[in-house]
Amino acid sequence: MYQMKCTKCGGLAVVNMPQHRLKLCEEHFLEWFPEQVVNIIRRYDMFAPDDRVLVAVSGGKDSLALWYVLDRLGYETEGMYINLGIDHDDYSNRSQEHVEAFAAEHGLEYQVVNVAETYGRGVPALISTTRGHRMCAACGLVKRHIMNRIAYEGDYAAIATGHNCDDEAAVLMQNVLHWQTGYLRRQAPVLPQVHPRLARKVKPLCRIYERDVAAYALVRGIDYIQQECPYSKKAQTLFYKEILNQIERRSPATKQQFYITYLKAKDEGLFAEGEEEGRVYHTCPRCGQPTLADDLCAFCKLWENL
């Protein structure tokens, strides 16, 4: 059988990354991966070395690998797990156990927000009663609200999420196929803080391929939850990831170029200013978070409607 050689030392390579023209042995891959993350953090000016970073962890490979590598790089992190109350297959509790076991093993601090305990009901209970809201939209809304609240209360410099290059490219592809101009103007490795109570959001894995994040989690022995959310409409995203991987197999590096060149074109002024630019936030009278609505914010309305 053909054995791959490490580009750096000639030893036995365990990962092949044609998009970087690199094959790496375990040792050099473990060196390479955190270097990439540091480069991404610096390139997009995500946060400074002494900033406190809140890491949004789901128990999956991407967010746990992110937390691991940020900690290893010396950043001051705290994990945040949002228990959404998804009891199908005991999904939320089992995910939480993965987060807790990981934190215990590595001596990391974290907090858990249990949606049902804090707000009275879990996310699945929100859905049957809210017309027009679909599960993933409601869940996204709930998670954003809680992330912003926790980051504000804890005065964190940024919230880091585990989105990888495949995630970003798949979203970009969907936005491009339907020319979602608002999203096309906004998608970025950093969402800046535009209001004191809307946290800065950063994606330190955004240029790393999903396969390579998975390889890192594997080699580092990270025990993550492999199941997808039972409500998730992952099928759509998986389909576009597979489309992009077909293109990638034909022309290696197209996936990252698609995303990176987009960011570059955007920075260089491809898009004209949209209507979003000048919008004015009001303060939600119930939760105090900013909203574009005149009255309650979308999060508070969600609970109002029960």
Contact indicator for 65, 222 with CB cutoff of 8 Å: yes
| CB atoms near residue 186 (< 10 Å) | 14
101, 104, 194, 270: which one binds a copy of itself (CB under 8 A):
270
Q: Which of 183, 257, 290, 301 binds a copy of itself (CB under 8 A)?
A: 257
Question: What's the token pair of residue 105?
Answer: 């093993």
What tokens were used for 6? 């490490």
CA 306 to chain centre: 29
Between 181 and 232, name the residue whose CB sits nearer to a copy of itself.
Answer: 181
253 forms part of the interface with a copy of itself (CB under 8 A): no
Q: What is the DSSP string of 165-229?
A: HHHHHHHHHHHHHTT-HHHHHH--SEE---BTTB--EE-TTTTS-HHHHHHHHHHTT-----SPP
Give residue 238's identity as a one-letter amino acid code. Answer: L
287 binds a copy of itself (CB under 8 A): no
Rounded-to-integer distance, Cα 162 and Cα 7, Å? 27
In the structure encoding, which two tokens stand for residue 301, read together?
């309305």
Q: Rounded to the nearest whole angstrom, what is the least distance from the CB of residue 166 to a copy of itself in the complex?
A: 15
Does residue number 271 form part of the binding site for a copy of itself (CB under 8 A)? yes
Contacts with a copy of itself by CB under 8 A: the residue count is: 23
Q: Which is nearer to a copy of itself, 12 or 176 (CB)?
A: 176
278 touches a copy of itself (CB under 8 A): no
Shortest Cβ distance from residue 173 to a copy of itself (Å)?
9
What distances in angstroms separate CA 220 from CA 7, 100, 160, one per listed residue? Answer: 21, 17, 20
**If binding is defined by CB under 8 A, does position 277 make contact with a copy of itself?**
no
List alpha helices for 9-60, DSSP H: 26-43
Of the residues 258, 284, 300, 302, which one makes contact with a copy of itself according to CB under 8 A:
258
265 binds a copy of itself (CB under 8 A): yes
Distance between CA atoms of residues 121 and 103, nearest Å: 26
Nearer to a copy of itself, 63 or 254 (CB): 254
Q: Shortest distance, CB of residue 83 to a copy of itself, whole angstroms? A: 33
* The token pair that represents 26 in the structure block: 């375990």
222-251 residues near a copy of itself, rule: CB under 8 A: 239, 243, 246-247, 250
Q: How many residues does the chain have?
A: 306
Among 3, 221, 272, 294, binds a copy of itself (CB under 8 A): 272
Please check whether residue 101 is in contact with residue 223, taking contact to mean a CB–CB distance below 8 angstroms.
yes
Distance of CA 144 to the CA centre of its chain: 12
> Binding segment for a copy of itself among 61-69, 110-118, 126-134, 261-269 (CB under 8 A)?
261-269
262 binds a copy of itself (CB under 8 A): yes
For the segment 174-203, give every residue that binds a copy of itself (CB under 8 A).
176-179, 181, 184
**Cβ proximity to a copy of itself, 159 vs 172, nearer residue:** 172
Tell me phi and psi for residue 79, to 5 degrees.
-85, 150
Applying CB under 8 A, the residues found at the interface with a copy of itself are 176-179, 181, 184, 239, 243, 246-247, 250, 254, 257-258, 261-262, 264-265, 268-272
